[in-house]
Amino acid sequence: MRVLGLDYGSRTVGVAISDPLLVTAQGVEIIRRESENKLRRTYARIEEIIAEYGDVDRIVLGYPKNMNNTIGERAEKTEQFKAALERRCDLPVILWDERLTTVAADRAMIESGIRREDRGKYVDEIAAMLILQGYLDSCRN
């Protein structure tokens, strides 16, 4: 059994996958699209990734709440993405608070010595890993 982790953004979706023992999250890729509303290929690629791993039984989706715990426009779009994913993939989708994951991802890249120009290439995938790892850690506690 594995869990798929997603960091949904306006033009990208960072993707991570758990190991079979549900201990660690590994980055898979960043799905990019030209426009925010063009999601058909994004859904298709997520379905392909699920099929590649074969034993995914749920999806954890980063939920971008505001710092004061309110729901904004980005969170509403994430809820719509969640509903569509559940219909298309026939898997439960768990919303996971992602506040500050992008900041943490950026900090991790700085500490790893990744140049500023290159950080944008990885931030969404690392954020997906942090979202998924947070979920996995909470399941063990």
Domain with residue 7: its CATH number is: 3.30.420.140
- Could you tell me which of 31, 27, 20 has the C-alpha nearest to residue 112? 27
How high is the pLDDT of residue 104? 66
How high is the pLDDT of residue 106? 66
Furthest C-alpha separation in the chain: 41
The model's pTM: 0.86
Give the pLDDT confidence of 91-131 residue by residue, as tens digits. 999 999 887 676 666 677 677 776 777 666 667 788 899 89
Domain span at 67:
2-98+107-140
1 burial (CB, 10 Å; 0-12 / 13-18 / 19+) is exposed
How high is the pLDDT of residue 118? 64
141 residues of the chain, pLDDT tens digit each: 999 999 998 889 999 999 999 999 999 999 998 877 789 999 999 999 999 998 999 999 999 887 787 777 888 999 999 999 999 999 999 999 887 676 666 677 677 776 777 666 667 788 899 899 999 998 876
Query: What is the tally of structural domains in the chain?
Result: 1
